[in-house]
Amino acid sequence: MLYEIKLHILSPVHIGCNECYTPTEFVIDVDKSIMIHFDLWQFIKTLNDKEWKEFENISEKDTVACLVQLYRFYSKVKEKVKGRIISIPKELAERYREVKQLNDEKEILKKFNEFEIPRTFFNPYTQTPIIPGSSLKGSLRTGYLDKTLAESPDKENLIKNADPRNPEQLEAKILEGQMSTDPFRLLKISDLEPEGQVKTKVIYQINVNKLKDNIRSTLSIPIEVIPEGSIFKGTVKLDSLIENSDIKKPFDFKSLLTKVHAHYAEIFNREVDLRKNKGFRRPLIEQFKNELKIKYFLIRIGKHSGAEAVTIESVRKIKIRTAKGSIWDKTPTTIWLASQNKKPANLSQAIPFGWVMLEVVNADTL
Amino acid sequence: MKLKEIKAIKGKIIIKTGLHIGSGNMEMQIGGTDNPVIKHPFTQEPYIPGSSLKGKIRSLLEYYYGIVQEAAKSEDFKNSGGLATPKMLKNADGEIKNHIKNILKVFGAGAGETDENLIIEIGPTRVSFSDCRLNEDFKKQAEQNHWSYIEVKSENRINRITGTAKDPRFIERVPAGTVFDFEVYFKVLDDEDEKLFEDYLLKGLKLLELDSLGGSGSRGYGKIEFQFDDEALKNKFNSLKLWG
């Protein structure tokens, strides 16, 4: 059976791809708080002889200071720079202005690290973001495992024997299969591409203690995200089970999504409770409410989904670092939020990462 | 049995999601990934081997015509690998037998087959897939834009007890948007072969569009689209119904 799906992005999503924006390929327009990401080869073609000479001189230097000179040069010719526009926090734009004034090498290196901005997964030809099928499939699998274990008649035994060093064994027991007999091999999820134009943006990822009032500002790092309001589309194919197959525990798409929704809705509701104390923003799900669990299913994907979203509730063991070493606990003590400010006075503009509403377009076939 | 015609299907394969057809690692390269895609040894450009297309299409047709389902009923065939085989043909009957015979006609019975009667009955393999090279217009566009034909996807696995990432790996893919040329030839040896062309080859191509090519198809990779040069064939392909 083939299903068309859409992902409605409810809060910022970052899918890691091990790549950062390199300082040679962007310029920041401080006044507009935007980053222009350009193709270096196309840019070079636009330079006149004098500019080319200057660019060449900077490129041939082997000092740290040449990084600042490059920034100054880019800013000088920024009218010529054509590329993809990415909105950035005002504070980061200001930091760029400061970096351009620096002369001290140590200081330059330190400040430069702030512009190591991790990119969200993208198509290298079009530079547009992609949500890989692997990310979505992993999230669906976690939700399904969590609720299947919760309903298992052998629950107590499975929980007692769960080994954190061998999580695959627990998964195999819950699914009653492994590798060729794993029911998830019947589920084929495509990579998802943007519907219409999706403009990524840069925000700060801030780490907030759930209990205390402080914000750990040392852990406020910029990151590129897919913003809320974006929509991605793709397909899901669920192969039918062959009679006499060794896959013992197949599922249909509706029951998979129902369990997945139940897993993530619990975490969502806990965040709503936490919000009452911390005051951060809540992803808006009202427009989907009438057809929730019928056509729309809540999930969470990508970086900073939080340890609770990516683990099985009854066996969860989270390593928590304390002043005296580390301890194991059921729930993490901090939460990561997406924020426009590096160290906001309050969290009213900040929002948790990774919330997505999965829509089954042809839900009548579920 | 006489060669009446060789039908040629020509067109483009558009990569819709990153494609990984693995090559195995012949030698260790510094900075190389553990999972490279197959590349032409001289040009280092990725290509789609005809064998990958042929194998996947054959496998999908075996599912589509119920041959896999039939094989699963017997322990002997369940673990035998290739399904639409001369061995299974001898043991099958009715409609399934017919489908197996037709798949053997279109895709071949294997070079090791020694049963002369069967070889005569089936005749030469009808279909021949060429390796698919990068489309020239796409190459020009890629060169102008300084595009690499390869992206590297980093992946990991989540330990669902501790919430930590493990088993990091880097996999090469041919990015979505890449265009390859493809050519498939089909020998028409008797009147019935016209039907085989539509029911086995064209339907096979259609099934592949709905599934995926290469590795990791269950987690996003390898969605493709065929674009045919011939307008009449394009219309025929678009109006083909697989079910109902």
pLDDT digits (tens, 9 = 90+) for A17-37: 989 998 788 999 999 999 999
Residue B33's pLDDT is what? 63
Range A125-129 average pLDDT: 94
Chain B CB within 8 Å of residue A314 CB = no
Rounded Cα–Cα distance for residues B192 and B102 (Å): 10
* Number of CB pairs, chain A paired with chain B, less than 8 A apart: 121
Binned at pLDDT 50, 70 and 90, residue A194 comes out as: very high
What is the signed CA dihedral for B85, B89, B91, B96, rounded to 10 degrees?
110
| Cβ pair A133:B153 closer than 8 A | no
Closest chain A CA to residue B74: A244
Residue A192's pLDDT is what? 97
Chain B CB within 8 Å of residue A318 CB = yes
Q: What are the residues whose beta carbons fall under 8 Å from the beta carbon of A24, sequence distance 6 or more?
A: A40, A70
Chain A CB within 8 Å of residue B235 CB = no
| Cβ pair A242:B69 closer than 8 A | yes
Q: What is the ipTM of this complex?
A: 0.88
pLDDT digits (tens, 9 = 90+) for A298-352: 999 999 999 999 999 989 988 888 878 888 888 888 899 999 998 888 888 999 9
Where is mean pLDDT largest: A361-365, B76-80, B172-176? B172-176
Percent of chain A with pLDDT over 90: 61
pLDDT at B34 over 60: yes
Chain A CB within 8 Å of residue B79 CB = no
Please tell me the least confidently modeled range out of A127-136, A213-222, A256-265, B192-201: A213-222
Q: Using CB atoms, pick whichever of A188, A310, A315 lies closest to residue B217.
A: A188
Closest chain B CA to residue A313: B161
Instruction: Calculate the alpha carbon distances from A326 to A315, A317, A329, B165 in Å.
Output: 18, 12, 10, 18
- Do residues B216 and B20 touch, judged by C-beta distance below 8 A? yes
Closest chain A CA to residue B72: A244
Chain A CB within 8 Å of residue B241 CB = no
Chain B CB within 8 Å of residue A227 CB = no
Rounded Cα–Cα distance for residues B221 and B198 (Å): 27
Range B26-50 average pLDDT: 80
CB within 8 Å of chain B, chain A residues 76-115 = none
Chain A CB within 8 Å of residue B144 CB = no
Task: Give the phi and the psi of residue A237 in degrees, each rounded to 5.
Answer: -120, 125
Helices (H), A104-181: 105-112, 133-151, 155-160, 167-175
Higher-pLDDT residue of A59 and A258 is A258
As beta bridge partners, residue B182 has: B11
Other Cβ atoms less than 10 A from the Cβ of A330: the count is: 13
Residue B89's pLDDT is what? 83
Instruction: Calculate the alpha carbon distances from B55 to A183, B68, B84, B220, B229 in Å.
Output: 23, 14, 12, 20, 23
Residue A330's pLDDT is what? 85
Amino acid B189 reads L
Please tell me the least confidently modeled range out of A311-315, B105-109, B115-119, B237-241: B115-119
For every residue of A226-237, DSSP letters joined together read BPTT-EEEEEEE
Rounded Cα–Cα distance for residues A112 and A23 (Å): 9
Rounded Cα–Cα distance for residues A75 and A97 (Å): 10
Tokens 């299974």 -> residue: B88
Percent of chain B with pLDDT over 90: 64
| Cβ pair A134:B219 closer than 8 A | yes
- Candidates A358, A258, A267, A259; CA nearest to A313 is A267
Query: What distance in Å separates residue A3's CA from the closest CA in chain B?
Result: 11
| Cβ pair B147:A17 closer than 8 A | no
Closest chain A CA to residue B168: A18
Binned at pLDDT 50, 70 and 90, residue A196 comes out as: very high
Computed over every residue of chain B, the mean pLDDT equals: 89
pLDDT digits (tens, 9 = 90+) for A242-286: 877 888 899 999 999 999 999 999 999 999 998 988 889 999 999
pLDDT digits (tens, 9 = 90+) for A81-113: 889 999 999 999 998 888 888 888 788 877 777
| Cβ pair B147:A124 closer than 8 A | yes
CB within 8 Å of chain B, chain A residues 321-350 = none
First to last CA, chain A: 9
Residue B81's pLDDT is what? 59
Range A55-84 average pLDDT: 87
- Do residues B163 and A138 touch, judged by C-beta distance below 8 A? no
Other Cβ atoms less than 10 A from the Cβ of A246: the count is: 11
Instruction: Calculate the alpha carbon distances from A267 to A59, A298, B69 in Å.
Output: 50, 10, 41
Binned at pLDDT 50, 70 and 90, residue A216 comes out as: low
| Cβ pair A243:B153 closer than 8 A | no
Range A61-79 average pLDDT: 86
Chain A CB within 8 Å of residue B68 CB = yes
pLDDT at B29 over 70: no
Task: Give the phi and the psi of residue B137 in degrees, each rounded to 5.
Answer: -65, -40
SS3 B155: strand
Chain B CB within 8 Å of residue A243 CB = yes
As beta bridge partners, residue B157 has: B166
Range A159-171 average pLDDT: 92
| Cβ pair B161:A17 closer than 8 A | no
As beta bridge partners, residue B180 has: B13, B134
Chain B CB within 8 Å of residue A16 CB = yes
Residue B92's pLDDT is what? 83
Task: Give the phi and the psi of residue A243 in degrees, each rounded to 5.
Answer: -55, 140
Rounded Cα–Cα distance for residues A52 and A69 (Å): 14
Query: What distance in Å separates residue A131's CA from the closest CA in chain B?
Result: 9
> Which pTM does this prediction carry?
0.91
Residue B25's pLDDT is what? 61
Higher-pLDDT residue of B80 and A157 is A157
pLDDT at A217 over 70: no
| Cβ pair A170:B160 closer than 8 A | yes
Instruction: Calculate the alpha carbon distances from A33 to A22, A92, A267, A330, B215 in Å.
Output: 18, 8, 34, 40, 42
Q: Which of B14, B15, B17 is the best substitution to test chain A (most A C-beta atoms within 10 A)?
A: B17
Range B1-28 average pLDDT: 86
Chain B CB within 8 Å of residue A140 CB = no
